Amino acid sequence: MFTKKSVTGVIGSGAMGSGIAQVAATAGHKVIVYDNSESALQKAENNLKSSLTKLVEKQKITRDQQTQVLMNIRFVSTLQQLSECDLIIEAIVENLDVKKTVFKELEKIVKETCVLASNTSSLSITSIAAACEKPGRVIGIHFFNPPTLMPLVEIIPGVASLENITTSSKALIDSWGKVTVRVKDTPGFIVNRVARPFYSEALRIYEEGIADIPTIDWAMKEIGGFKMGPFELMDMIGHDVNYIVTETVWKQFYYDPKFKPALSQKRLLEAGLLGKKSGKGFYDYTPGSQTPEATKNKELGQQIFTRILVMLINEAADTLYLKVASAEDIDLAMTKGVNYPKSLLKWADELGIENVIKQLTALKDFYEEDRYRISPLLKQNFILKKAFY
Ligand code: NAI
Predicted model pTM: 0.95
User: Considering the domain 8-182, what is its CATH architecture?
Assistant: 3-Layer(aba) Sandwich (3.40)
pLDDT of residue 24: 98
Percentage of the chain lying above the pLDDT 70 cut? 100
Is 239 annotated in the active site? Answer: no
Q: Which residue numbers in the chain have pLDDT < 50?
A: none
pLDDT of residue 291: 87
Q: How far is the CA of 143 from the centre of ligand 1 (A)?
A: 12
- Name the closest-CA residue to atom 19, ligand 1: 36
CB of 92 shorter than 6 A to ligand 1? yes
- Name the closest-CA residue to atom 25, ligand 1: 15
Residue to mutate (ligand 1; options 93, 120, 277; most atoms within 8 A of CB): 93
CATH among 1.10.1040.50, 3.40.50.10490, 1.10.490.10, 1.10.3720.10 for 193-384 = 1.10.1040.50
Q: How far is the CA of 123 from the centre of ligand 1 (A)?
A: 13
Is 154 annotated in the active site? Answer: yes
pLDDT of residue 1: 85
Atom of ligand 1 minimally distant from the CA of 44: 9
pLDDT of residue 248: 94
pLDDT of residue 153: 98
Residue to mutate (ligand 1; options 16, 94, 105, 249; most atoms within 8 A of CB): 16
CB of 150 shorter than 6 A to ligand 1? no
CB of 244 shorter than 6 A to ligand 1? no
CB of 145 shorter than 6 A to ligand 1? yes
pLDDT of residue 199: 98
pLDDT tens figures, 167-186: 999 999 999 999 999 999 99
Is 142 annotated in the active site? Answer: yes
CB of 12 shorter than 6 A to ligand 1? yes
CB of 248 shorter than 6 A to ligand 1? no
8 A C-beta contact, residue 308 and residue 224: yes
Is 124 annotated in the active site? Answer: no
Domain spans in the chain, listed from the N-terminal domain onward = 8-182, 193-384
pLDDT tens figures, 23-36: 999 999 999 999 99
pLDDT tens figures, 248-301: 999 999 999 999 999 999 999 999 999 999 999 999 999 999 989 999 999 999
